[in-house]
Chain A
């Protein structure tokens, strides 16, 4: 039964600011991380770890500062992004600390304890997050730097070529006295700014000028220019830096943003075909990539003779020994992976000690971050903000897919890190900045519309008496 009265108006409900929900979830996230830390300590030594208080206080401080800044400077932001990032960062710290306790790893020459360093990196990441929220009052300012960010991204991507390869890939730049950083992690944010600024201007040309062929819109030859240029660039990265991950990330990001900007399925088909051609082509002559493909196709064949295969086999075995519910934190043997156990392969520790249930929960946490990013893009009112939010969450999703898929043997392994989880400064700092930009966009998107200015026509008529 419908009630018809002519005295009813229907309007959108303003989004509540939900900062208290965010605070409660941040506290929950810190509590879970401290629980994980205590669990590791109890399982390994039978007592609560001595650093638990300091570690918990540090994490709570980071989450608290981030929350207060969001409460003050991005009042209407999405309530889930910050707690999810805090939880992943906190669990990452607990897992890294757990691997620091392994005597087998400590005896390995390439391993150094990383937990305290990672806490400092997290603090730097949160500082950058705070900086983004303080300095970036409106994400549309970034639009002014479209072409500057293209140059910056190119420089960041090309720089590692001039530094020696580490672990088979040239993705690091080494600054004497400070350490090495992975510029690719920062480049993904900068290049998202460039892609969204560029596509916002060009999307009509890319979407409308096309012929219909076999149910697909085929773009004109000259509109293929940008996608070919990005493709060529990612192939060059693959050849000269031998890094499949970065290459896939940039090309995938461009295809995702192109599809969102133009709504043409044909771009996805083109993108998939081009990346397949590129990857197969490069794999046919590049030894480092061939190595990875061999290890992916049959990890157990190279046991004892082929280190990359043996590592992959160890990873698969640790997933297998975890089973459904895992062995419990601190009770697995994922340290058998040895090299990069706490960076690229940290998901194997999750798989062994928390089992399938734990891996699923972690993947859902990543999925929720991506979902909130896409939701932000849907809610954003300006096309630049929409594209930027899609680009950033797409980059995040592709990165998680490339790493998790590589570690689980779905695709050839690449040298990328699980965002927030893996040990490594560049990754955690860049991802906090990424979350900061998403929070800034979602704050603008969810902010209630300002009250309309009183119309001069609506004022009462005044009688002017002579």
Chain B
């Protein structure tokens, strides 16, 4: 047997031995299973959870929409976005459910805001699919754009709803 063959075999054997060790470690790595997130209800949420688009683009879009109240079905908002305050960046998909806002633990969006009441406001769709915001008798009030709400009011796309230091808006 030539010296070269034996050297190749010697190094090859060590390589194969280490390859086994590395493969075994890879198996361990893939064995560290974590948690699984299950989406219940409609399948649409997955599509809606896609990353937020550029901020300017979104802010440019709403004024256009506001001019056309007649085409609500096409321009219906799909998500609620917190744009100011401690929860900035939080989004909630709008699927026809009522969204409650407040410091209470069972609120959809739990506000960590000194100026918010425990059940501050709610946002819900009416029969036509128009989203309505209603103040639930809060201490410091809910503002749509600049006016303090006294009655349930329809929310235009992109209009800021201010609760204490938190600002939320509906977006497409």
Contacts and interface: CB of A to CB of B under 8 A. Distances in A.
B28 to A, nearest CB: 7
Given A32-B16, A354-B14, A8 B91 contact: no
Contacts of A8: 37-40, 45
Nearest to A29: B20
Contacts of B18: 357, 361
Interface stretch (A13-21, A106-114, A385-393): A13-21
Nearest to A47: B1
A358 B36 contact: no
A313 B98 CA distance: 82
Contacts of A32: 13, 16-17, 20
Contacts of B61: none
B22 to A, nearest CB: 10
Interface in B90-128: 90-93, 95, 97, 108-109
Nearest to A78: B31
B6 interface: yes
Given A13-B35, A18-B31, A7 B108 contact: no
Given A9-B38, A358-B14, A28 B89 contact: no
Interface residues of A, number: 49
Interface string A17-58: 010010001001100100110010011001000000000000
B14 A325 contact: yes
Determine the interface band of chain B, counting residues with CB < 8 A from chain A: 35 or more
Contacts of B91: 1, 3-4
B41 to A, nearest CB: 5
Nearest to B80: A4
Interface in B12-46: 12-14, 16-18, 20-21, 23-25, 27-28, 31, 33-41, 45
Contacts of A83: 24
Interface of A (DSSP majority class): mixed
Contact of B14 (A3, A84, A357): A357
A218 to B, nearest CB: 38
A326 B10 contact: yes
Contact of A35 (B6, B13, B90, B93): B13
B7 interface: yes
B13 A4 contact: no
A4 B92 CA distance: 6
A96 interface: no
Nearest to A329: B13
A43 B9 CA distance: 9
B13 A13 contact: no
Contacts of B11: 325
A6 interface: yes
A177 interface: no
A47 B21 CA distance: 29
29 contacts: A1-B91, A3-B49, A3-B91, A7-B39, A7-B41, A8-B45, A10-B37, A11-B36, A11-B38, A12-B33, A12-B35, A13-B35, A14-B33, A15-B33, A16-B33, A28-B20, A32-B20, A39-B10, A42-B6, A46-B1, A79-B31, A80-B24, A327-B10, A354-B13, A354-B17, A358-B14, A358-B17, A365-B20, A365-B24
